[in-house]
Amino acid sequence: MRHLPSATEAAILIAVCLKRKEDEVGKEFTRVRVSEKTFSRLTGRRRLDGRFIAELNEMLLDYNLLALITGDAIGFIKASTVKGWPRMNSQRITEEIHASRRAQLDYEELAQELDEADSAFDEDDEDEARSS
């Protein structure tokens, strides 16, 4: 019967794999991407379980790492890199927060605001591609 690594054991395997890659290349990586196959080999899991990912991230923090799981990619970032990112606070949506607490917030309106912003980015990408 095959051993299924715990989240702690998987975190150690991931951290050592990244360290050895850094040693081999001679530079530190703040982010890396892995295939599903590699992630499966490192964690012993064929399917991603939310509880396991949460526990894995908790353990990875001991090694200054965070796992990012998206629909089609799995990545790891150095947790310390987040410290250099731009800050965001909630002041710009104070009214929405108060409305939400009163159960009076129109989330559909906010989602539409995001859809409009997404469309604007897509149009900018198309304009840039045409001018190249």
- 62 and 103 belong to one structural domain: no
- 22 and 73 belong to one structural domain: yes
- 51 and 106 belong to one structural domain: no
Q: pLDDT digits over 15-40, tens only? A: 999 999 999 999 999 999 999 899 99
In this prediction, residues 87-114 reach a mean pLDDT of: 95
Could you tell me the CA-to-CA distances from 121 to 116, 118, 125, 127 in Å, in that order? 9, 5, 6, 10
1 within some domain = no
Which domain covers residue 20, as residue numbers? 7-84
Sheet containing strand 65-69, strands side by side = 31-34, 74-78, 65-69
Which of the residue ranges 63-67, 71-75, 117-121 would you say has the lowest mean pLDDT?
117-121
Contact in structure between 39 and 11 (CB atoms under 8 Å)? no
Q: pLDDT digits over 49-61, tens only? A: 889 999 999 999 9
- 43 and 74 belong to one structural domain: yes
- 96 and 60 belong to one structural domain: no
Contact in structure between 65 and 77 (CB atoms under 8 Å)? yes
2 within some domain = no
pTM as predicted: 0.74
Number of domains the chain is built from: 2
